[in-house]
Structure 1
Amino acid sequence: MSSENAVSNTRSLGLAYIGLVLTPLFWAGNAVVARGTVESIPPLSMSFWRWVIALAFLLPFGLPGVWQHRKIIRQRLGSMLALATFSVGAFNSLLYFAATTTTATNIALINATIPIFVAFLAWVLLGDRTRPIQAVGIALAVLGILTVVARGDITVLTGLEAQPGDLIMVAAVFSWGLFSVLLRRQSVPLPALTFLTTQIFLGAMVILPFYLTDLFFFSGGFELSGETALPLLFVAIFPGILAYGFWNHGVQKIGPSKAAIFMYLTPVFASVLAGILLGESLGLFHIIGGLLILCGLLLATRAGRRTPEYRKMG
């Protein structure tokens, strides 16, 4: 290998690691922005316009590929619509609804359990073999989620007094798990940019009737201003487009197992950002729940022969 190639590979690897650190930072920012804008931007408005803005940025680059692969897209339209519904449509809309009644820290902690839900649903729906140590990991992560949802008080669970947002976020993560399992079962042979562009378009179309219903009969939408435009641009560009590109580049360079470790930074970044920007404080239950989730993730995703595949558009 020539010295120029070695330098190029080193630079590319370095950029991959930088991107993998920025990706969970952007995902954490998504949770913090969602929580910080609950009074000014309704959840469905945030979800719909986030993807419309992202699509506007992507179309000049993604449209040629969509046209080139239009036959495959037409043949797999049903599968792609289902994938878009569970990912772009349901996951992000539920996340923004969760932010109305729970903290950004809780959102990030529960969001970090995505690999657990993917492994569990792959076992249930695809018949993937689960080793005993992975089952222990899943159980620990679930215990961690319950600790966060219960806020360290078991009577919250027994009295059915959990925050609605925590439960909605669990539903969001479950939705992403279904997307990931469907992605493996009904893999669509498209380039990454073409797949992303198509998914965002279909997902926005899924959200549209719910957004219009909310706009005309419930929330009334939001007033466009600097206070609302900047958060929308942030969630569209950084966690929406850049994080997806950084994540895919990182997975290609260092592999999915190593890249998955960087996901564990999301709740760390979220707790720091939420503390600085929103005044949220960490409780003992956050620390205990977070440690249980971390241990569970390490056991469930590192002990198996194969790491579940999932594309992240958080």
Structure 2
Amino acid sequence: MAYIGLVLTPLFWAGNAVLARATVEFIPPLSMSFWRWVIALVILLPVGLPGMWRHRRVIRDRFGSMLALATFSVAAFNSLLYYAAITTTATNIALINATIPIFVALLAWVLLGDRTRPIQALGIALAIAGILTVVARGDISVLTGLEAQPGDLIMVAAVFSWGLFSVLLRRQAVPLPALTFLTTQILLGTLVISPFYLADVLLFSGGFELTQDTAMPLLYFAIFPGILAYAFWNHGVHEIGPARAAIFMYLTPVFASILAGIFLRESLGVFHVIGGGLILAGLILATRTGRRQATY
């Protein structure tokens, strides 16, 4: 069951990128992020609230840490990903998203002083070269002329945010059961998003019309890449270890390219193949057993 869950998790994450790209014209990014987590919270609260009450002292004592973790993960990462979908492809989103272990390793080295072996440093360098290839679309003048797609750069910021979350999770580990931690994180993250969502609705986007075509994507965002992916990922890490579980993240861009080709008619360019190859090689080297892997 752990392996099945770890295969389904990148499939759900890939679906998140593809569906966001398909619906971002109808559902503004902040509305997408806010309502995704509101729906997830409504589903989780009946089973998660008793644990939050039992562990209320821990939550109160570690409230600052919990709020920071929720801000970088639930609030910032997902909102930035949905903003990226406005101006970049689902394939690019998934390729850049797959470099999360690289950013975790890099930030752990910078902020926590983790020792990085030369082979892993080479992996980080290759993955960064792959990101630049994807962002530049194979044309170096895109970088030198500062003409990169805004969505690609926003997605890099999203992955950086998740890397900060992962490093903070190690530095400020909160002793809570998984379900209690997840429910608390979603509650706090939703509260963080709320003022930005309201400002966006009142001053900029105007929100969206609730129809079957907009409700179904929000249900998908909440249930599959929201609740189930988090649950499957945490279970897989617990059962087989974070280093082996991280290998399954490599499937995300594979699934995304297939789904994007079928549903969005996105085609792979040479730069996708080259950049994806560099990212894959970098991930393999940087996540080799021997480095203490953070849990994402």
Residue 65 of structure 1 corresponds to 51
Q: Which residue of 1 aligns with 2:187?
A: 201
Matched position secondary structure for 2:92: helix
Contact in 2 for aligned 1:134/1:304 (Cα 8 Å):
no
Q: If the length of structure 1 is used for normalisation, what is the TM-score?
A: 0.93
Structure 2: distance between partners of 1:280 and 1:154? 22
Does residue 1:16 correspond to 2:2, yes or no? yes
Q: Out of 270, 273, 276, which is 1:284 matched to?
A: 270
User: Partner residue of 1:98?
Assistant: 84
How many angstroms apart in 1 are the aligned matches of 2:291 and 2:224? 32
Unaligned runs of 5+ residues in structure 1 are 1-14
Does the residue aligned with 2:221 lie in a helix, a strand or coil? Answer: helix
Distance 2:293 2:163 in 1: 13
User: d(CA) in 2 for partners of 1:309 and 1:228?
Assistant: 33
The 5 Å alignment of 1:246-257 reads: 246-257=232-243
| Contact map agreement 1:88 1:199 (CA 8 A) in 2 | yes
Q: Quote the residue 1:112 is aligned against.
A: 98
Residue 177 of structure 2 is aligned to residue 191 of structure 1: yes
Gaps of 5+ in 2: none
- The residue that corresponds to 1:263 in the other structure is 249
Deviation at 1:158, TM superposition (A): 0.6
Q: Does 2:191 match 1:179?
A: no
By how many angstroms is 1:174 displaced?
0.3
Distance in 1 between residues matched to 2:163 and 2:99, nearest whole Å: 10
1:217 aligns with 2:213: no
Q: Equivalents in 2 of 1:42, 1:306: separation in Å?
A: 38
Q: Which residue of the partner structure matches residue 108 of structure 2?
A: 122
Measured in 1, the distance between the counterparts of 2:69 and 2:104 equals 14
Q: Aligned pairs, how many?
A: 296
Q: How much has 1:304 moved relative to structure 2?
A: 3.4
Determine the C-alpha separation between the residues in 1 that align with 2:169 and 2:110: 15
Aligned to 1:39: 25
Q: Which residue of structure 1 lines up, in the alignment, with residue 34 of structure 2?
A: 48
Letter paired with 2:5: G
1:30 counterpart = 2:16 = yes
Give the fraction of aligned pairs with identical amino acids, expressed as a percent.
82
1:141 equivalent in structure 2 = 127
Aligned partners of 1:43, 1:235: CA distance in 2, in Å?
12
Counterparts of 2:291 and 2:96 in 1: how far apart (Å)?
A: 25
Looking at structure 2, the residues matched to 250 and 183 of structure 1 have their Cα atoms a distance apart, in angstroms, of 18
Alignment-derived partner of residue 220 in structure 2: 234
Contact 1:131 1:304 in 2 (8 A): no
